[in-house]
A = this chain, B = another copy of it.
Amino acid sequence: MSEQSNAGPPTPLTTVRRSAKRGVYDRAVIDAILDEGLVCHVAFVHEGKPCLIPTAYARNGGWLYLHGAQKNRMLQAICGQAACVTVTLLDGLVLARSAFHHSVNYRSVVLYGEGEEVRDASEKMRAMERLVEHIVPGRWAEARQPTDDELNATLIVRISTDECSAKVRTGPPIDDEEDLSLGVWAGVLPMDRTWGEPLPDDLLPPAIPAPPYVANYSRPKG
């Protein structure tokens, strides 16, 4: 996951226009957001209308991999067609003295590209490995590997990460000068994702403990 994809210059699609100072085009920042996120949202056009589905993903170098059943409507819709993929991480709530200047701290990536079906069996297998390892690093080596039937039942679609940009807000609220003396608490409430005690499957023999990659689970932090 440490391999970086190529950083292209911002294009008309990826140039951040709203709050342009929050735009980030640094490939390392973009890849770190993609690697920390758990699910992405995929937008596509179906019969002229926008559609939007959350789904798992994994990055491998300069490609984002998506997967689903062969008949998955979203995956079918983006093969050879334009898609927009977003990964969003929320880092905190920003409380300004004025209602107007309230905000959130976040890191997001917006990526434009066309989906491309992965047909090569070994790339498909590597993509499935990345998809599992993206969610639970260390899991692939222990889980039962996909059979040919499972591989054939799975549609893997990749999208280049070349055309993308990040948008990042960090730091305290930005209040108007004249509001600073208002006596209203202002600041940031940080948020994070946390992981509870692993819940073993009812059918699992009690002698099998949760492996360290589950018991000590954490996400890479960008």
B-binding segment of A1-9, A24-32, A49-57, A116-124: A49-57
Q: Report the 9 A-B pairs with minimum CB-CB distance, sorted nearest first.
A: A190-B196, A43-B43, A43-B52, A43-B50, A98-B144, A54-B88, A52-B84, A187-B200, A99-B143
Residue count of chain A within 8 Å CB distance of chain B:
95
A15 CB, min distance to chain B CBs, angstroms: 11
A150–B101 alpha-carbon span in the complex (Å)? 10
Kindly list 18 other residue pairs between chains A and B, CB separation below 8 angstroms, not including A18-B68, A98-B144, A191-B196: A38-B90, A43-B84, A48-B82, A53-B86, A95-B136, A95-B143, A98-B146, A99-B132, A99-B143, A99-B145, A100-B154, A102-B143, A142-B185, A143-B184, A172-B202, A187-B198, A188-B199, A192-B196
| Docked-complex contact A90 and B52, CB < 8 angstroms | no
Answer yes or no: A96 CB below 8 A from chain B CBs: yes
A216 CB, min distance to chain B CBs, angstroms: 11
